[in-house]
A and B are shown apart, each in its own frame.
Chain A
Amino acid sequence: DVKVTQSSRYLVKRTGEKVFLECVQDMDHENMFWYRQDPGLGLRLIYFSYDVKMKEKGDIPEGYSVSREKKERFSLILESASTNQTSMYLCASMGSGRAYEQYFGPGTRLTVT
C-alpha cells in the first residue's frame, strides 16, 4: 500500500522562526513534491525533486527552500517564517515511468503567529 507521511499534522510557529517540514515515502519513488493549499487558490506547487539532491522550483518558491539527501525523504524549509505562510502544506510522491500518479501525505496545517 502507498504510504506518504508528514512529520506533523499541526504546527504553530512564530514569525521569523526557521521551520522544517519533513515528508517520507516508502514507495521508492523518484519524484517528490511540496504544495501549499489555500482557500480559493487551490493547490500550488512550491518545489519538486526528481532525484536525490535534485530540485526544481515550482510556481511559488519564494520564501522556501528544500532538501533531498535521501530518496525517501523530502524536506521543506521556511528560512524565516512569515504570517502569509500560514497554510496547509501537502507533500506528494510519484514514481517514474508511465504511471503519473501522485500520492499525497495527510498534510501539515502550519500557523505562523
Chain B
Amino acid sequence: GQQLNQSPQSMFIQEGEDVSMNCTSSSIFNTWLWYKQDPGEGPVLLIALYKAGELTSNGRLTAQFGITRKDSFLNISASIPSDVGIYFCAGRRTSGSRLTFGEGTQLTVNP
C-alpha cells in the first residue's frame, strides 16, 4: 500500500529542546493519527485528528491536521529522555478502516 512521507527519518536532540516532525501525502486523508513505539513494544496512540485545521494537544505533544488534508505535524515541547522512540503518523482516507502508515521518525534525546 501507499506509504506516507514522514520526515525527518531520525533526530538527535538535547533534553529540553522542542521537536517537530511531519507527514505528507499526495492524497487527501480524513483522519490523522500519531503513534509512539518503544523498542520491542507495540505502537501506542498519542493523538487523533479528525478535522482539517484541527490542533490537538496531549501534554507536551501537539499535533495539527493540515488545511489541505494532505499533511499533519507533531510537535514535542521541552523533550525529556523518555520521549526516545519511534514516532509514526497514520492516515485514513475517505472510506474503509485501513490506515496508511509513515515509516517513522526515530527520536534520540541526549540528557
A34 within 8 A of B: no
Docked complex Cα distance between A37 and B88 (Å): 12
Contact mask for chain B residues 22-34; partner A; CB cutoff 8 A; 1 contact, 0 none: 0000000001010
Please classify how large the interface on chain B is, using the bins under 10, 10 to 19, 20 to 34, 35 or more.
20 to 34
Contacts A42-B102, A43-B88, A102-B90 hold; do A107 and B40 have CB atoms under 8 A apart?
yes
Docked complex Cα distance between A47 and B69 (Å): 27
A52 within 8 A of B: no
> How many cross-chain pairs have Cβ atoms below 8 Å apart between A and B?
53
A98 within 8 A of B: yes
For B99, the closest partner residue in chain A by CB is A102
Docked complex Cα distance between A100 and B95 (Å): 10
Docked complex Cα distance between A28 and B20 (Å): 35
A94 within 8 A of B: yes
For chain A, the count of residues having a C-beta within 8 Å of the partner chain is 25
Interface residues of chain B, those whose CB is within 8 Å of chain A, are 1, 3, 31, 33, 35, 40-45, 48, 50, 88, 90, 92, 97-99, 101-104
Interface residues of chain A, those whose CB is within 8 Å of chain B, are 4, 31, 40, 42-45, 48, 50, 58-59, 90, 92, 94, 98-107, 109
